[in-house]
Amino acid sequence: MYTIRTVADFAAAHYLTHYHGKCENVHGHNYHVQVWLKGETLDEGGMLADFGCVKQCLKQIIAPLDHSNLNDVLDFAGDPSAERIARYIFDKMQATLPHFSIKPELLSAVDVFETSTNMARFENV
């Protein structure tokens, strides 16, 4: 099995409406995103997927989130947790990868780090 990963970063503000504590106040993070693809076969060039295409796809998806208030994104339903952000990016990647000639079923996981020690993952199981 082959696995590749690419990363990108974005900065955004958010608050959690169903959380009681300091995170219910508006605050920001420098999010670090890791996208993982996994597959058993390589293309004729010996690659699972072109790193540049995967990174371009990811950057296209996170661009609208960068320097935004994530609570304004309807998909997060007022609670843009790291878990929901990971699922959002996963779903958008799966829908967009074919535009970069990459099979969507290769997408295996998306990790979203709010800090260097706190991360949420959504994965294809």
Of the listed 14, 29, 57, 114, which one is catalytic? 114
pLDDT category, 66, cuts 50, 70, 90?
Answer: very high
At 89 the three-state DSSP class reads helix
Task: Delimit the domains of the chain by residue range.
Answer: 2-123
44 assigned to active site: no
Please answer whether residues 29 and 11 qualify as being in contact, where contact means their C-beta atoms are separated by less than 8 angstroms: yes
67 assigned to active site: yes
Of the listed 23, 32, 53, 123, which one is catalytic? 23
Please answer whether residues 33 and 62 qualify as being in contact, where contact means their C-beta atoms are separated by less than 8 angstroms: yes
Of the listed 24, 67, 83, 99, which one is catalytic? 67
The architecture in CATH of the region 2-123 reads 2-Layer Sandwich (3.30)
Tell me the pLDDT tens digit for each residue of 77-117. Answer: 779 999 999 999 999 999 999 999 999 999 999 999 999 99
Q: What is the pLDDT of residue 21?
A: 79
Where do we find the tokens 């199981």?
125
The reported pTM is 0.94
23 assigned to active site: yes
Q: What mean pLDDT do residues 42-61 have?
A: 96
Rounded Cα distance, 40 and 52, in Å: 20
Tell me the pLDDT tens digit for each residue of 3-42. Answer: 999 999 999 999 988 888 787 888 999 999 999 999 999 9
